[in-house]
Structure 1
Amino acid sequence: MPEEAKEKREIPQEIIEKVKKLREEIEYHNYRYYVLDSPVISDAEYDALMRELRRLEEMYPELITPDSPTQRIGFKPAEGFKEVPHAEPMLSLDDAMNEEEVIEFDKRIKRFLGLPEETPIEYTVEPKIDGLAVELVYENGSLSIGATRGDGYVGEDVTNNIKTIPTVPLRLRKFTEDAPDIPPRIDVRGEVYMNKDEFKRINEERIRKGELPFANPRNAAAGSLRQLDPSITAKRKLDIFYYGVGKVEGYKFKTQWEILQTLPKWGLKVNPYVKLVKDIKEAINYHHHIERIRDTLPYEIDGVVIKVNDLSLWEKLGTKARSPRYALAYKFQPTQVTTQLLDVVFQVGRTGAITPVAVLKPVQIGGVIVERATLHNEDFIKNLDIRIGDWVLVQRAGEVIPEIVMPIKERRTGQEKEIIFPTHCPICGTKLIKKPEEAIWRCPNKNCYAQAVRKILHFASRNAMNIEGLGEKVARDLVDRGLVQNVADLYYLKWEDFMKLPGFAYKKAKNLYEAIQKSKKTTLGRFIYALGIRHVGEAMAQMLAEKFKSLDKLMNASMSDLLSIPGVGYEVAKSIVEFFKNEENRKMIQRMLDAGVTFVEEEKEEKPKILEGLTFVFTGTLKSMTRDEAKEIVRELGGKTTDSVSKNVDYVVAGDNPGSKYQRALQLGVKIINEEEFLKLIGKAK
């Protein structure tokens, strides 16, 4: 459309009002996020507001104003910190939510550069850490200033707080022979973050004090780094990954990959998952891979960052008002959203634990419609003051049951209702009890219908006795008709008994009967887990089986016997001893043994010696196994392990937060691989 026509056309009043309202909403949420570190909407909802405003401004460019949120990057620094201007702007990134938008990003770059569409462009890709962007200024190798991103042009001086992070070098050094000389000045950019475990610890502490928890690790990291008292920051275990540079004097990088490869040589930690890819297709495949493993990482990520590798192209592509043309954030499906709490129901578990479950206004999280979420326990509800009718922040990570994170009290209308915790079991009516040292109310009635059903389901589950066809409806029907009171009764049923159940004909009854008979031959570890002893999960059950070798020895083990096992604490030991002391439990176990339940050895196949002649060193935290387990695998496959790095070492396997061994390997030129590459080497890659 010609410019003259644009100027003359009339813009509908509803569009003008909508743009105005969107700007007001976004500015408010910017204030909550950047200044107060206390957002009231999820990232996904904020992104949706920004995308809608950007769409309308593209349709009606006459409405764009210099103070529109689309024309700036963040928000003004909070009071209490000195302002620090950035030598080069710290721009935010445009985001993409699907493959089509990523492919269009690639095409747009080629159009801008005048390249044929089939020309491959090299990119660097890396996980997008959900943290707080910072810039560290090093002058003559020494850290002089640490600043937040702020509004992209001016940040906050948090130097003293930055210095409390162990992975921030106070002075840069050359750790390898091929490391370039350290520039007279270099502005290094990174993302300060908080590990999931530390985030959980801090939130539990805040809830105990009656304080609202942080919504996510990013807000926890931001709140910690922006403490006026650095001693508070020091108590919170913050970390950082470096991803780029701003102003550099006395040295010129040619590619983004060169930056990522050089920073570790100066002692600056780069994410081990960074990768160089040959084209946009490989970048998309990388995104899908990282999304699959995101829940195994010890820190939160919300997407991957894709950057043109050639820095000379950055200069040609340039920037827009708030973002560069050469980079893109390819987001994952959101794991946190806000929705309304409609009601609360109370469920009874197999140990009698009463769990409050939130009934939610249906909402999509990570591609799944969520209608229910856990509220944990009564203390959690009271400490956060959660009420029926509240708008709440809900999260779902991996396969974990959705949970309420916090209520959005600013959205209350006064119509919300207090959640009343029951005093009696909602199933059998027995008065509930709570031990002084526990937060959970329990139904003490061992014959409670709900507990019986849950115990049967746990016993029959895939990782326990693996009884195919015994689901919740069947378990309820068995208990309803008095055919099963405890799990031992399953082994005394005849196939004809199943014919009494609704929906069962001869074939279905025979199949379930045969599945129960088949389950009689199991391993000791599976059987221990199937018993449903409190605090005894799959790994602990397997450990107990390996330690005691026989059920009889475990049943008669003392507290001291159990406490001598690494990883078994007082509560676990006490729970095991009390379970086997109970005469009813011993009778139930004996009935199963009398019915023919027997234990077989775990089948261990002879593994080929594919690592023969190779020596490995492990450093940092592995996600799929412990370092001791990894060492055992190497030995089983014919390799050797050592704890010191030398030129005789073939591979250094670097997990998360690798230590000095990583730097030593860089110095000696020893091959460094990440956990994914190690798993591929041993034939266990997913």
Structure 2
Amino acid sequence: MAADSGVRTDGASAIAESPQDVRAQAAARAAELRHLLDYHAYRYYALDAPEITDAAFDKLLVELQQIEAAHPELVTPDSYTQRVGGYVSEQFTPVTHMARMYSMDDAMNLEELDEWLARTEEALGAGRVAYTCELKIDGLGVAITYQNGSFVRAATRGDGTTGEDVSLNVRTIKDVPMHLSEAALAHMGADRGTPIEVRGEVYMPKGSFARLNAEADAEGREPFANPRNAAAGSLRQKDPKVTATRSLASFIYSIADTAPLHVDSQHAFLDWLREAGFSVNASVARCTSPAEVHAFCADALAHRGDLDYDIDGVVVKVDGFDQQADLGFTARAPRWAIAFKFPPEEKTTVLREIRIQVGRTGVLTPVAEFDPVTVAGSTIARATLHNLDEIRRKDVRVGDTIIVHKAGDVIPEVVGPVLDKRPADAVEWDMPEACPACGSPVVHEGDEVAYRCVSLDCPAQLKERLIHWVSRGCMDVDGLGDELIDKMIEAGLLCDVADFYTLDADAIAALDTGRTYAKDDKKKGVAAGDPIKVGHTIAGKVMDELVRSKAQPLSRVLFALGIRHVGKSVAEVLAQRFLTIDALAAASEEDIAACEGIGPKIAASVREFLSVPENLEVLQRLREAGLALEENLGAAVAQAAQETGVDADLAAEQPLDGLTFVLTGTLVNRTRDEAGAALKLLGAKVSGSVSKKTSYLVAGPKAGSKLTKAESLGVPVLDEEALERILATGEVPQV
């Protein structure tokens, strides 16, 4: 987790004096958790740059699930517990999947796996269940569509409902068939012309990953952190020729709808995939008991290092499709499958130094520097120690032999010291009293673990703020990376984010990249050893991107400013409530705190930021540069109307204002998330639980306890046909 997130993750809460206090406290914590989960999901799915481990993310998710279980009235349709994780980039054409792509529940240890196995056996009958065990490939989820046996398109998983069209890039992956075998199509019989959508993982083999990073190192580029990030970055290339050079591969293991194939089990389906020409992982087993599942998992863990691709666990599925249908789904995952996650691989090395890294909000983060060691397929030599409390808890000292691993096989982490190898002169480490970047005093607020440099002139904070401003999800300025921003700072071109909009192409083109030509090139008029400049081609692209970024809405600007505690979702709430930067700047702390999901801590941080004259001056310069600094709700409504199929003029009338809907069961025409978004666009409130205040319950097939409760309370129940009439007309049935 980011050291300056400002959100509790221990789940602790003060003893409340009344039920109202307990609920208020739960509501505040649930809102914090939703913001935090959205932030870290965005880092993982959209940026391919996670900041916390899978285990830490799961801990936050479990805490939110526990709060919502105790307080069902707090469940919201957009809660991470009610949807599939993922994001859809704006740089690719959106593709709607034939059926929703769900997430997978995790078992972080054998005890949790056994609990799932026991629940499954109890539900279906002990001894009556067979399981298909498959390796959990650490790659990027894709959905590939075929019709009449021919490749039609390919998309990333995205948010589970909508993905990114990466068809041209997937076409370059050699083991993805462009045409299915005649034998497999014959097996489909009369359904051979029915479109099918298979799902799987695109991954980068370890050998390809090593070659890619060797090339990056030779060219002075930043290497990829791991094969999963490399695969994701390669599949999202705008130029498929680049993707073609990355030697990606695939494993296919599921399908949107098995009906056209006339198979009745997962292992039979995998056989069909092989027959059709897909790449199917050879390490798969049909197990007829929990003991056999355990044996498969143990064998996979023992041999994970022998594979030419990364795995982070085993997926266990109920084999029979009829039994899968009996178990069904939760809001975000199938009940008939679980991912057993492997413990991380551990190595020992020597801690040589603890250095301080200064973040964009001034937080001082200690970073362990140790002798390089290869863990989970890549070499690491540093890992964050988060904060002083964490160093004290682990009792880590310079000179220690330490145990390191990659949490979730992604993020380097120091587990702790090997105490019997501790040097006699090792002493406890302490935070410096002065910022190592600027020499200003370091402050420590009593209610936080973070130590901060509060100087506005701190150069370390400047670089981090500038990088954050141009990042994807903020102003999204493609082509401006760490290296180029470093050069701009060194040349005196950037002192704050407003300076991006005073740059000119000639100044950027003249910047020295820090590299030199390896040999003479008479056509370019350069000799070996001459410095390589950025050049006008790159400079022109950067200038075009900066001009494009001026059209970003207020929510993006607020997120990009790096206001403490203001993540993507908080920025959207503020922008939708206040609409302009001027209205937000004029708002009191109480006005800001009154926004849904924003508590006193976030409100105080926003108010403090907008009270600093230097920050207001930067905002004024941004306005003068052409940034609108306002939220165009009309455009947002028009886009949402187009996505949901709701008439934009009808949405402007807000005909469902004051009504509360609850959705349950399986909807045919749209998912519950899509239906909820359409209802909210027309002014309705959409709740996750039924109460006396519920206006209508929309119930599709397989509706459960919500339908029973609605009937007991006399809440009107509507079918999907009635819902579609409401969305088309804005008129509700009279009851």
TM-score, scaled relative to structure 2? 0.46
Q: Which has the larger radius of gyration?
A: 1
Q: TM-score, normalised by structure 1?
A: 0.49
